[in-house]
Structure formats: structure tokens, C-alpha cells
Amino acid sequence: MDKQTMRYFPNLDGNAIEGLVEQWKKAFPAMGVMALLPEAEKEAVGKLQGVFSRQGVPLVGAIFPALVAGEEFRTNGVWLLRFERMPYAALYDELPQAGISAAEVAERIAEGVRGELDDTPDATLFLLFDAQVPNIGTLLDELYLHLANRVHYLGANAGSETFQPMPCLFDNDRVVGNGVLAMLLQPHRGGILEHGYGAPEEMIYATSTEGNRIVHIDWRPAFEVYRELMQKQYGVEITRDNFYNYAVHFPFGIVRANHSVLVRIPVMLGEDGSLFCVGEVPPNSLLTLLEAPSVDSTHTQEALNRGLVGLNGDIAGRELLLFYCAGRNMHLGNAAATHELAGLVRLTGVSRLAGAKSLGEIGPSTVGGYPLFHNATLVATCL
């Protein structure tokens, strides 16, 4: 019997996949699978749905810009992650419907989760969002109001690296967009999230924001202040013409009361000088300007390993699920990003590193703490 719970197929060979699923099902009749696909293989969702429906095996999954396979990023193939018993999973689509508030959406999700919680000491609410959902941070706030610390919070954003709409979440029957896949893992102690950015001393205030849009910084048009800081701190002249070449390398950091930093990557410049980021920026946030050389990859790897060992004990020889921010990959460059993957594999001693390049990450402020939406991070867990 194949005891691996994570299997990577470099090609979408339906016969090979169906053979493995059939083999798995004989050993684990109550099993289920989460599939991770790269954007280049999005047309293969129907093939996977056919295989799992024929075998009578529950399937959920998501489409990402690329996959993480060991020490590499791959734009081909599929990861199949097996659960011996399929956990509770619910797929919600079209979340930003007019008239439906974040509180109502969170109540729907939490109601389903509450009905499945048992006496297991640790449970994790694992969330895969479509990156097109505009208010993920607010939804996490509302979920915490309903579920508090009864669960750990963990997850990532799926979708296209172009940030264009694309149905990217699926189960046995549907492929949906603007939604979220919610899974309840029991027993499960959560995961660890880290980015390794250091914050410069100069701080500014986001004096006017609307969701993920920064309108004013220190009461002035956001781009005007951003441009001045780039020149002053890093000697970079940024204009409307070169904005997209530079912005990913110089994200904002939201400095929290405990001095931790939430990264927000600017992805669009408005005609009025406002800046659109991946993830919401609360009004009056204390901001700082970050840059690529300030990322400490060694610190990031060590913090992840230390946290994972704290949660799970020795993880050498185990299988690890990792979501690696696509913006961080662009920020560091592919050589440095793959070097970071290799360093994590060596340091942890895991037998297999599976995962995807994500468009935002979800993790706690501290172990067992409040859920936050991040950019430019690595989030890792042992399933």
C-alpha cells in the first residue's frame, strides 16, 4: 500500500490518477482528496471531477498560479492530498453579492463549522479564498467573532496571477469564483506563517482608505507620498509609467500594536493617485515602506521550522504543505525564492514539500491567535 498522503502527478494522466484513487479507496473507504492545480492546467478540473465521481470519492480543490513541488515551482501537473477520512468541507460561491454583508457570510460559514466541531482538543478552519473576494480581512474578523479560539485559522488565496477573474475553487460537481472553500480539520493544531521583513523606522498614516484602496497617506494623495518615500529611502524614482515594474518590490507594511508587520503589495494605481493593494488596509493604519533586500530568508526558514516543531514535535520525515506568496516570488526573484524552498526542505528534514504559489495567505497573529490576512508570506502546516 502507498502510505504517502501527498502525490504529485507531473502530467494529468487520467488512468494513472484513477488507478491511485482506486488503490487509496480500498485502504481508506472514508477518504477524501484535496487537489491543487496550476493555472496552466485549469481545463483539467473536469477530468479530475470525472475520476473522483466514478470512484465515489469526495473531491475539493483550487487553482493557483503555480505549484510548489519540493524545491521547485511548477506550472504543470497536479497535487493530490489524501485525507483518511474526508473532513467537513463547504464550498461557497459569489460572496460579494449585493445586500449580503460580511457578517451574514461569516455567520453562514460559522454555522456549518459549529455543527461539526466535536470534543477534539484542536481543530483548524482551513480556508481557500478566490483572490477576487474584496473583503477577506473583514470576513476573518467576523468569523473570529463567531468562532473565537475554538479553531485555529489557516489558509491561502487561489486564482490567476494576472488578478483577472477566473473560477478557481471546485468540488466534485462545481467550479466557482468569488468564493471560499472552508474545511474543518480535526484533530489539527494549525500552521505557522512568516515573512521575515524588517520595518524601517519612518512611519506614515493611511488617513483615508476604502477596503483595499489607500486614498490618502498623511492627508495627501497616496501615490504622491509613496513616490516621495521611494526616492528618500531607496533612491528610486517611481512614475505612473514604471509603477508596475517597481511596486511589487516595495510593498507597504502595516505595523501592528505588537510591532508585527502585515505586508500589503500595491498592484494598481488609480487615476486619482490612490493605491490598490492585495488585502484591506484599515483606516488610520500605521504604515512603513518595505523593500526586497530587507527580507531575511534565513530568519523566515528558522521561524517556520521552530514554529512547526513547537506544534507537531519533530517533523523530520513528515510531509509538509506550504503556500508561498506569488508576490514574494516576484519580489525576491525566482532564484532566491527557490533557494528559500530548498533551505526550508533542508532545515525541516521533511520527506515531501507540497503546495502552491498563492495570492495572499491566512494565519494567526500568534499561535492559536487572531486570524489575519497577509501578503508576501510563507504559511506551512503538517496535515
Q: What's 43's DSSP letter?
A: G
Report the pLDDT value the prediction gives residue 1, as an integer from 0 to 100.
Answer: 39
Query: Is there a cis peptide before residue 221, judged by omega within 30 degrees of 0?
Result: no
Q: Which of 199, 200, 195, 193 is nearest to 297 (CA)?
A: 195
Those residues of the chain that have pLDDT short of 50 are: 1
> Is 13 in contact with 77 (CB distance < 8 Å)?
no
* pLDDT tens, position by position, 94-148: 886 555 688 899 999 999 999 999 888 899 999 999 999 988 999 999 999 999 9
Instruction: Write phi, then psi, for 39 (nearest 5 degrees).
Output: -55, -35
Strands of 160-235, DSSP E: 169-171, 175-176, 180-185, 192-194, 204-206, 208-210, 213-217, 220-221
Q: What's 13's DSSP letter?
A: -
Q: Which residues pair with 325 in a beta bridge?
A: 358
Report the pLDDT value the prediction gives residue 200, as an integer from 0 to 100.
Answer: 72
